[in-house]
């Protein structure tokens, strides 16, 4: 009896070691895949705060929370099983789907540029596109919905990069790694966004510190700097977020065209980046990245600009008609 119990405990210990090794493997693979997706993660973090700007302070965190939940739902309920299924049964469909998402990012970013350059025309375009917008709650819902749609595209890119970075293995290992990456990236991105959008409130609290010590003076100084600096920082971040949508979307389209035997645009961008890096000395890596992003952004801007009238005169009226029919039938 005792020998049987010892054998059972030995088997349990062996299983525990295997489980621990598997968990270590999942964590290691998730870490490597997450690093490869870091560029898109940074873009995601830059894009999101602009959806919160303009709302009352007490609505900022709830809005970030709603977007974060939508992002987690995107990754775990839709993108994770879709990535596994497409990778197993229809790998040919991944590229065109990513290109459709890239085109959407180009449109979203280009629309913001259009709004900044031609505010009156942009207002008319938004009126056609968002005919159902109404009170403050409807506006918030619309912003959250738009943010979740944009996050869906960026998340799809993150999950695709993660899946491509994984070595051959069981579907359960791939599922576990994708889930770890999905949760970890969502927490990191939206935790960072929450800190950014509430930094000014933290600054107000720090500036109200009444301590007479040197440390109290330092805290008050940092608080005042946060209060004065955050509005400008959020505006800069909104610009970076818009640019990120355009260059990420353009980059997806360029890579997609390369996979379909049309590498000319990608080769031209690469040649320009390498040429600029060759004369940049110690800044070669940074210059190469900037030129590559600028080239992808130019492609994204052209595609997005072409999609604005298509959306305004074809897609938006059709969508609004469907929405009105749904409202009447309800």
What span, in angstroms and rounded, lies between the C-alpha atoms of 37 and 45? 13
Q: Is the pLDDT of residue 17 over 60?
A: no
CA dihedral over 62, 63, 67, 70, signed as positive or negative:
positive
What span, in angstroms and rounded, lies between the C-alpha atoms of 223 and 203? 4
- Please tell me the pTM assigned to this model: 0.75
309: exposed, middle or buried (C-beta count within 10 Å: 0-12, 13-18, 19+)?
Answer: exposed
> What's the DSSP call for residue 55?
S
| 209 neighbors 223 (Cβ within 8 angstroms) | yes
Domain boundaries of the chain, sorted by first residue = 2-329
> What's the DSSP call for residue 74?
I
Q: Averaging pLDDT over each range in 161-175, 228-242, 310-324, which range is the top one?
A: 228-242
Q: Averaging pLDDT over each range in 176-180, 208-212, 294-298, 317-321, which range is the top one?
A: 294-298
Q: Is the pLDDT of residue 44 over 80?
A: no
End-to-end CA distance of the chain: 69
If you write DSSP's letter for every residue of 270-328 in order, what string do you get?
Answer: HHHHHHHHHTSGGGHHHHHHHHHHHHHHHHHHHHHHHHHHHIIIIIHHHHHHHHHHHHH
């Amino acid at each position: 009896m005792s020998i049987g119990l010892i054998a059972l405990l030995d088997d349990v210990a062996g299983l525990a070691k295997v489980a621990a090794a598997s968990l270590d493997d999942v964590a290691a693979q998730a870490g490597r895949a997450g690093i490869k997706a870091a560029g898109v993660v940074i873009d995601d973090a830059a894009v999101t705060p602009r959806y919160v700007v303009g709302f009352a302070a007490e609505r900022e965190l709830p809005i970030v929370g709603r977007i974060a939940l939508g992002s987690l739902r995107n990754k775990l309920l839709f993108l994770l099983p879709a990535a596994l299924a497409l990778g197993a049964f229809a790998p040919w469909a991944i590229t065109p789907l990513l290109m459709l998402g890239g085109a959407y990012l180009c449109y979203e970013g280009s629309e913001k540029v259009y709004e900044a350059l031609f505010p009156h025309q942009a207002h008319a375009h938004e009126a056609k596109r968002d005919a159902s917008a109404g009170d403050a709650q409807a506006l918030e819902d619309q912003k959250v919905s738009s943010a979740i749609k944009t996050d869906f595209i960026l998340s799809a890119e993150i999950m695709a990069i993660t899946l491509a970075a994984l070595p051959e293995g069981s579907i359960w290992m791939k599922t576990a790694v994708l889930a770890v990456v999905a949760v970890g990236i969502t927490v990191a991105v939206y935790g960072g966004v929450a800190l950014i959008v509430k930094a000014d409130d933290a600054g107000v609290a720090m500036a109200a510190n009444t301590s007479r010590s040197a440390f109290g003076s330092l805290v008050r100084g940092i608080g005042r700097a946060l209060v004065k600096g955050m509005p400008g920082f959020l505006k800069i971040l909104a610009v970076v977020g818009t640019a990120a949508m355009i260059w990420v979307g353009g980059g997806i389209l360029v890579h997609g065209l390369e996979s379909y035997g049309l590498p000319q645009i990608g080769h031209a961008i690469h040649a320009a980046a390498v040429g600029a890096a060759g004369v940049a000395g110690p800044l070669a890596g940074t210059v190469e990245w900037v030129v590559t992003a600028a080239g992808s952004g130019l492609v994204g801007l052209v595609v997005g600009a072409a999609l604005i009238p298509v959306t305004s005169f074809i897609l938006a009226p059709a969508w609004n008609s469907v929405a009105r029919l749904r409202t009447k039938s309800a």
